[in-house]
Amino acid sequence: MPEFVALHAFVRAEAPRPDAGSPAADPIDEEVVAAVPDVEVVRDAVREALHFRAALADAFDASLARLHEDLAADVLARELQLAPADLRALACRTLERFANDLPVQLRVHPDELTRVAGLAVPAAADPTLRRGDVYLDLHAGGIDARLGVRLEAVLRTAAG
């Protein structure tokens, strides 16, 4: 039966050497040499295992991020059922923050138009927005303060 050969001997392409005091006449036992696989085969197998591990880690990270997003969305949805978002406060903060950028109008879901009436800029109903969404049109662009965008920003900050 061939003697045990350590993995590092395969990877470095070295055959095991007999002890200096051993009576082995042959420097390399032919059975041991026959048991040693081709070094390139071992290197390829190790390389494939490392690539598989890296791909598995990437898939796990992506799944974990999606799980966090789903969990945050579920918690937020439950909270919004208990108490709707303070849309007027959100609109006021957005207007205050971007007052120097020449706000033109504030867009909200049609059912929430009365909640933002009387602010510094005209409010407009936008049926493409969902409840809790705010979009501030500026002279040169716009500020997207939709609920999904705000949640995404929170998740990015938490992951960060």
Look at residue 124 in the predicted model and tell me its pLDDT.
Answer: 94
25-34, 61-70, 130-139, range with the lowest pLDDT: 25-34
Q: What is the pLDDT of residues 98-129, one digit of tens each?
A: 988 899 999 999 999 999 999 989 999 999 99
Listed ranges 3-17, 37-51, 66-80, 86-100; the one with the highest mean pLDDT: 86-100
CB 94 within 8 A of CB 108: no
Kindly report whether the global pTM for this prediction surpasses the value 0.85.
Answer: no
User: What is the DSSP pairing of strand 103-108 with strand 123-125?
Assistant: parallel
Buried b (16+ CB within 10 A) or exposed e, 91-109: beebbeebeeeebeebbbb
Decide: 131 and 111 in contact? Cβ < 8 Å.
Answer: yes
Beta strands in 53-149 (DSSP E): 103-108, 123-125, 134-138, 141-144
Specify the length of the chain in residues: 160
- 69 pLDDT band, cuts 50/70/90, is confident
pLDDT at position 70 over 90? no
Query: Within the chain, how many helices (H) and strands (E) appear?
Result: 5, 4
Residue 90 has pLDDT above 50, yes or no: yes
